[in-house]
Amino acid sequence: MAKHNNHSNASAWMGIQKKRWALMALALFSLSTAIVFFMRTAFDSCSAGYGGGEEREAEVGLEPNPLEFMKSRLVLMVSHELSLSGGPLLLMELAFLLRKVGAEVVWITNQKPAESDDVIYSLERKMLNRGVQVFSAKSQKAIDTALKADLIVLNTAVAGKWLDSVLKENVPRVLPKVLWWIHEMRGHYFKVEYVKHLPFVAGAMIDSHATAEYWKNRTRERLGIAMPETYVVHLGNSKELMEVAEDSVSRRVLREHVRESLGVRSDDLLFAIINSVSRGKGQDLFLRAFYESLQLIQEKKLQVPTMHAVVVGSDMNAQTKFETELRTFVLEKNIQDRVHFVNKTLTVAPYLAAIDVLVQNSQARGECFGRITIEAMAFQLPVLGTAAGGTMEIVVNGTTGFLHPAGKEGVTPLANNIVKLATHVERRLTIGKQGYVRVKERFLEPHMAHRIALVLKDVLRKAKSTTNS
């Protein structure tokens, strides 16, 4: 009887420990990693065109604190909005990196709703707790800070509206010290009222070469203006996400928990797309490819584990026509036991731990960069991505994943790639490991910090020379 009690106590203790591990893993998430796909419209597609300057990308030689030279510098950060989207969260990351080395950082949000907003309140409290000052966009404090700041970072193309609406006659005084960080790739951002001052700022920073080239061509052809000197800075995974990705115990606990919640077995094969549900992200074409892959497996009588498709980023509360189309397709094809819709969530790492392959199926020009791609690679996941945009600068075709065309013509190639990874376990694992190696070599937060440091040094040098002349 004593042995039985000991066994029961041990089992209960193990259960408690597993839950603790899960909670600890979830607690490690930072804003930069946990809110990856939630309204990630800032990275939907990158259309970039730098015009007057030469495009430059810094080679990385890691050092302890590459931003140390920013100590005591005054930096004003202008965000067009404060939300759980890619652009504002990236700017917040930079704010925290600069605060870490002793820079004085001031944040303003140009567009804020009149009514109170829980998300904005929470994010502002987070910044204040980290020593970032938050001013009203139209306050005299904001104007005074802009005039005396060493550096002004305009985040996204839309943030350009703040210059004329607030600074007015002071705009020419601040342009020489403005670094414009652009993430957008959609055509509707190419409006003169947004970017008319672009040719006169110290520099533009863009997340991928594909986006930079798009902005260069588009601004010249559509607006007749030239881009300033443009720097390409690839993004990097946060330390917090890497800690979870490299902790085998945390990954295992999260994997078991998520799979249990989805009702799938431990040896089932999960292909997932992790993005807010929208036509531009290609969930519809992914599901068509998944269905086609099931047919191929059945026709060829291939022996593979039970396969599932996971769509993370759903929002039935919005009742969009597109989401309804997705669910109708699943029902019509009778694959509802194989397809799982997961609502928008603040934590994507558990799903990266639970799945076997990430599908990055963004359409048209693709992703500006697509941070979820490098996060998946950190979890040693192969990536099946569209051959468009920044994804082509991350995924090495045939080595860290497979690329397929955007649009309807990409459905069958994607289906074939799904089957290819489903039927070759060792290759799938090898590709995942190679993706992890590529992340460690190129896509970590220190890499990003070093690349940004080189940009900031150049911009500060130019701003100083302009002031002295």
- According to the model, what pLDDT value does residue 52 have? 37
User: Could you check whether 68-236+447-468 and 239-442 share the same CATH topology?
Assistant: yes
Q: How confident is the model at residue 186 (pLDDT cuts 50, 70, 90)?
A: confident
β-bridge partners, 205: 181, 231
Rounded CA-CA distance 439/428 in Å is 17
> Residues 261, 302: contact at Cβ < 8 Å?
no
Model confidence at 168: pLDDT above 50: yes
Q: How confident is the model at residue 118 (pLDDT cuts 50, 70, 90)?
A: confident
Residue with tokens 């997705």: 326
- According to the model, what pLDDT value does residue 468 have? 66
382 versus 119: the higher-pLDDT residue is 382
Above pLDDT 90, what percent of the chain? 71
49 versus 453: the higher-pLDDT residue is 453
* Mean pLDDT value of segment 37-55: 36
Q: What is the pLDDT of residues 420-441, one digit of tens each?
A: 999 999 999 999 999 999 999 9
- According to the model, what pLDDT value does residue 351 have? 97
* Mean pLDDT value of segment 148-158: 94
Model confidence at 45: pLDDT above 70: no
**Structural domain boundaries in the chain:** 68-236+447-468, 239-442
- According to the model, what pLDDT value does residue 192 have? 83
Q: How confident is the model at residue 316 (pLDDT cuts 50, 70, 90)?
A: confident
Model confidence at 89: pLDDT above 80: yes
> Residues 448, 90: contact at Cβ < 8 Å?
no
* Mean pLDDT value of segment 324-331: 97
Rounded CA-CA distance 295/180 in Å is 48
Rounded CA-CA distance 52/184 in Å is 19
Residue with tokens 């291939």: 302
Whether domain 68-236+447-468 has CATH 3.30.420.480: no
Question: Is 458 exposed, middle or buried, given 0-12, 13-18 or 19+ CB atoms closer than 10 A?
Answer: middle
Rounded CA-CA distance 92/75 in Å is 12
CATH architecture of 239-442: 3-Layer(aba) Sandwich (3.40)
* Mean pLDDT value of segment 136-150: 96
